[in-house]
């Protein structure tokens, strides 16, 4: 689906990650604020592959939603297959909906022009080329259009970039939401090479350059006491008195903190321990493993990579015909999503596990 470099190991991944963040620059905020009357506002931004743009704006305080989609074309519909041909005139975009009481349009544009993408590139970002990857702002009205145009003029006059800004300002005629498997892609696939090389550095640059606006993945306000104890304090819940130890529904289990997919019911088995047990994670390489010598024992702890939540431990006494491992996981670290709800919850890419 993308032009992806073939990696030869962790060293090369790290090298390209550092290169991928090199274009991030510091740009001044617009000279004047954008004043609006009323509540929720939105702006549609194009800056290359929408995976990375969405990831950046999902980490901004005051942003309520960041939805990947398509805009700017002549065709009456838009799908990834159509847009990726480069023949429809559409661009990959993200519709950013925000609360102007918490963040203003000027701050959103400042992030867009500094860390989200390189606005001097013409019809390309990173390895992706074509008009569908153009730098663009799709405006809802004349006020937005004039504000964006003035800001671009200020940045060009200040010679912030070596080249003139190539960002187009286009009227928003229609926004087409992208397919479910494109939504939250960076969050759900942090170890995918394209994400690691090209998009994760953008989020890191956001955290470094805009610490006052950066929003962590973790949202502790929704966790109960047991969930906090387990995930944040390396606690253990009681056996046989937890939510999922005897759950037999089809579906996937995600990190209660970040929503990252971790385990599937297809790998779940009854170990007799009183905790949910799995023969393997959905993607084993994603889990963090640490030696744990607490309580006078030597065990292998497992944690989620995105939110660094404590999940439980992995033992070598699992079913031999399925690899011999037993991932003993606390229910309190998980949220179960039934198979029937995967598409609705944004996990449509995992439906294939049950086909």
Spatial distance between the Cα atoms of 136 and 12, rounded to a whole number of angstroms: 31
Q: Which two tokens stand for residue 200?
A: 């994760």
Q: Which of 43, 45, 49, 91 is catalytic?
A: 49
- Active-site residue flag, 328: yes
CA distances (Å), 64 to each of 41, 58, 99, 172, in order? 10, 8, 7, 20
Q: Which of 71, 83, 262, 328 is catalytic?
A: 328
Q: 289 φ, ψ to 5°?
A: -115, 130
The residues annotated as belonging to the active site are 49, 328
């Amino acid at each position: 689906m993308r032009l992806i470099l073939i990696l030869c190991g962790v060293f090369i991944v790290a090298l390209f990650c550092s290169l991928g963040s090199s274009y991030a620059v510091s740009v001044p905020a617009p000279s004047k604020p954008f004043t609006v009357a009323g509540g929720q506002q939105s702006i549609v931004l194009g800056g290359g592959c929408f995976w990375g743009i969405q990831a950046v704006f999902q980490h901004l305080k005051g942003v309520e939603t960041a939805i990947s989609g398509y805009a700017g074309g002549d065709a009456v519909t838009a799908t990834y297959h159509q847009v990726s041909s480069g023949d429809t005139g559409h661009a990959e975009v993200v519709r950013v909906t925000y609360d102007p009481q918490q963040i203003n349009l000027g701050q959103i544009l400042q992030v867009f022009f500094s860390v989200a993408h390189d606005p001097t590139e013409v019809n390309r970002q990173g390895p992706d080329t074509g008009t569908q990857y153009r730098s663009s702002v799709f405006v809802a009205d004349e006020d937005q259009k004039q504000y964006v145009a003035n800001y671009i003029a200020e940045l060009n006059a200040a010679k912030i970039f070596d080249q003139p800004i190539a960002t187009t300002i286009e009227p928003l005629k229609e926004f087409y939401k992208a397919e479910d498997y494109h939504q939250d892609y960076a969050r759900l696939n942090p170890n995918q090479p394209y994400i690691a090389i090209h998009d994760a550095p953008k989020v890191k640059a956001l955290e470094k350059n805009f610490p006052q606006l950066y929003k962590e993945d973790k949202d502790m306000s929704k966790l109960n006491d047991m969930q906090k104890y387990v995930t944040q304090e390396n606690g253990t819940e009681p056996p046989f008195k937890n939510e999922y130890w005897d759950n037999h529904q089809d579906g996937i289990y995600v990190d209660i903190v970040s929503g990252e997919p971790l385990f599937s019911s297809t790998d779940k088995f009854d170990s007799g321990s009183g905790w949910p047990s799995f023969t393997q994670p959905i993607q084993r390489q994603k889990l963090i493993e640490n030696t744990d010598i607490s309580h006078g024992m030597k065990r292998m702890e497992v944690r989620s990579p995105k939110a660094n939540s404590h999940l439980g431990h992995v033992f070598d006494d699992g079913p031999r015909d399925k690899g011999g491992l037993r991932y003993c996981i606390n229910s309190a670290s998980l949220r179960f999503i039934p198979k029937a709800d995967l598409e609705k919850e944004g996990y449509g890419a995992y439906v294939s596990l049950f086909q």
